[in-house]
Structures are given as C-alpha cells and as structure tokens.
Amino acid sequence: MKAELTENILNQIPDSVRFNQDDAAALVAHQSFLLSLEDELVKGFYDHLYAHETTRKIFTDDEREAREKTLRDWYQRTLSGPFDTHYWEWQTLVGLVHIKRNVNNAMVAGMWGWLQTFLGQHVLEKLPSEEALKVIKAVHALQAVVMALISESYQRNMFTAVDKAAGLNEALLYRLVSIEIDEMLAQAR
C-alpha cells in the first residue's frame, strides 16, 4: 500500500517541477557545507516549535532530544542520498506519523518555509551565486515533493482510518464533503 500510494502521489507532480538528479547532485555536492549547518538548523527548528503555543502542545518536555535526533537523521539521510523508492516511501510514512501526533499540514508547511529560509540565507552568504541557486532550487523541489507526499498521505490515510472506523469509504466520504463544500461556497458568495 505504501509503495502504491507513494507512486500515485509522485505521478501527480509534473516531471518538470519534481525533484530530480540535478537537484540531488546539488545537495550531495555541498553536503559538507550543509551538514555544518546541522546543529543550528536542528536547534532553530525546535526552538520555533517549542516557542509557539499551538505546536508546543504536541510535544512532551522530555522528548526534545528524541525529536531532534529524528530531524538529524532525516537531514543526514537527505544530504547523503540516494533519492530512491525507499526514501520517498519514508516521506509518505511521515504523513501517517503526523496524524498520530496531531501535526497538521499547516504546521508542516510552516516549518518547511522556515527550513527553506534558513538554508537559503546560509547558502547565499557562503556559496558562489550559481551554486547557491542550485542548492536553493534543490531544496525547493525537495520541499514540493516531500510536502506533497506528507500532505496527500495524511489525507488519504485519514480517509482510510475513517473508512475502517466508521464504514465510510473514500468515494462516499468525498461525495459527502463535496456536497458540504458546495453549500459552504454558496454561503460564502
């Protein structure tokens, strides 16, 4: 199921904007520099999550070290490659983990924005312009694919869970949602 879901989501992203071999090469080529940012990146990432009231509620006081290790593992694996089926399936699984932890897509998108800004500022300061732009493009393409995998798997897995728990299959659920959205749009106009 995970492989099928991952492939289905990836196939919805136009090839022209999907993370590609050039993007992977840009990250790997600057792996040492990007890894030198790891401590600051991880600390900043979780400082923001723990400082914000809404995201702070997701974490317990004693788990920061474990969550930081998870981000470190992802960052190191991402900068090492390869970007194979296993990597993309892992990103799809993150959507399921987020459901369990009550991490919603707005939180994920916001923190991706923070990560892109953090990395963008550092590469623009330290790398030659042409190389910096390659890394920035790679990070943006990676974000687009990972965010698509996480958010779409979040939604699909939520529908599957509702189906299993309440017997509302995805087609029926989509139909019910569509009817309600038509009403909401009519009221908004």
181: left (phi over 0), alpha (psi -120 to 50) or beta: alpha
Residue 19 has pLDDT above 80, yes or no: yes
Scanning the structure block, which residue is given the tokens 């999550």?
49
- What's phi and psi for 60, nearest 5 deg? -95, 160
The proportion of the chain whose per-residue pLDDT surpasses 70, expressed as a percent, equals 99
Averaged pLDDT for residues 127-148: 97
What's the pTM?
0.87
Give residue-wise pLDDT tens across range 61-91: 899 999 999 999 999 999 999 999 999 999 9
Domain CATH number, residue 126: 1.10.490.10
Question: In this structure, is the dihedral angle defined by the CA atoms of residues 84, 107, 110 and 56, taken in order, positive or negative?
Answer: negative
How much is the pLDDT for 1?
A: 55
Q: Provide the domain count of the chain.
A: 1
Give residue-wise pLDDT tens across range 92-104: 988 778 888 999 9
Q: Which domain holds residue 51?
A: 2-188
CA–CA separation, 51 vs 116, rounded Å? Answer: 19
